């Protein structure tokens, strides 16, 4: 399956993507994780992205679209993928459609995760991610690691993302409403969108997502 995940910051896209990608045996492609890996490795791409991410703004399309489509090419897009954090504006959605059309493939669905703003703030304030791999995500009260401050998956150190400060989160939420929400209507016009509530325990949200996408475990 070829799926796009959308939802505001802290909706649980990364958390759900881990389980959905495993259940569906497809690669999880997160542009946020790709940027953070480039930043920690000190690459040129990471250098270009860092200031935008720290400010809660979108990294320019000229950097993002190439990075995302290269990763899809590497992942053999025809065999399926779960995109998390891309596309994030209309230009990116159009570029993704053009890329998929070139490959003779199309999306199967767009999963839209809905969460009220007060819950977003609680989820982000308590989030801790792994320094070695930011797709290893925990929460200080909702999703605790077995040992405080240590990643269950790889033993890496857990820390708070610099863009999770209150001010930056406010900017990220504004950017989401302004830039990203319009892609939901774009995909609605293609009859691709399924919207679910992302409230409740993680495994319940996963089950809801699988059902909405019409797949069973």
127 as an active site residue: the answer is: yes
Helix (H) or strand (E) holding 146: none
Angle at 42 between CA 80 and CA 135, to 5 degrees: 40
Q: Considering CB distances under 5 to 8 angstroms, the limit depending on partner class, which of ligand AP5, Zn ion, none binds residue 53? A: ligand AP5
Query: Could you say which residues in the range 184-213 bind Zn ion, by CB under 5 A?
Result: none
Give the CA dihedral 134, 96, 77, 208, nearest 10 degrees. Answer: 60
Q: Which residue out of 2, 71, 123, 127 is catalytically annotated?
A: 127
Q: Which of 128, 117, 118 is nearest to 164 (CA)?
A: 128
Q: Is 88 part of any known ligand binding site?
A: yes
Contact pick of 82, 110, 111, 137 for ligand AP5 (by CB under 6 A): 137
Q: Considering CB distances under 5 to 8 angstroms, the limit depending on partner class, which of ligand AP5, Zn ion, none binds residue 65? A: none
Q: Which residue out of 88, 123, 128, 208 is catalytically annotated?
A: 88
Query: Could you say which residues in the range 112-171 bind Zn ion, by CB under 5 A?
Result: 130, 132-133, 136, 151, 153-154, 156
Given its phi and psi angles, is residue 75 left (phi above 0), alpha (psi -120 to 50 degrees) or beta?
Answer: alpha
* Token pair for 151: 């990643």
Q: Residues comprising the binding site for ATP? A: 10-15, 127, 137-138, 200
* Residues assigned a catalytic role: 13, 88, 127, 161, 172
């Amino acid at each position: 399956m070829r799926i796009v995940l959308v939802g505001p910051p802290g909706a649980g896209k990364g958390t759900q993507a881990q389980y959905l990608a495993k259940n569906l045996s497809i690669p999880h492609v997160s542009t946020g994780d790709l940027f953070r890996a480039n930043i920690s490795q000190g690459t040129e791409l990471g250098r270009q992205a860092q200031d935008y991410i720290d400010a809660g703004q979108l990294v320019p399309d000229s950097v993002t679209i190439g990075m995302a489509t290269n990763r899809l090419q590497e992942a053999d897009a025809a065999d399926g993928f779960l995109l998390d954090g891309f596309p994030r504006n209309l230009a990116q959605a159009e570029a993704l459609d053009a890329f998929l059309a070139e490959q003779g493939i199309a999306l199967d669905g767009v999963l839209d995760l809905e969460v009220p703003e007060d819950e977003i703030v609680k989820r982000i304030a308590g989030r801790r991610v792994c320094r070695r791999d930011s797709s290893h995500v925990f929460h200080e009260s909702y999703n605790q690691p077995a040992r405080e401050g240590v990643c269950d998956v790889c033993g890496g150190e857990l820390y708070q993302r610099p863009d999770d400060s209150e001010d930056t989160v406010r900017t990220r939420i504004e950017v989401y409403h302004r830039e990203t929400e319009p892609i939901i209507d774009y995909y609605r016009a293609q009859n691709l969108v399924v919207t679910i509530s992302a409230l409740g325990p993680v495994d319940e949200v996963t089950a809801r997502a699988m059902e909405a996408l019409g797949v069973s475990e």
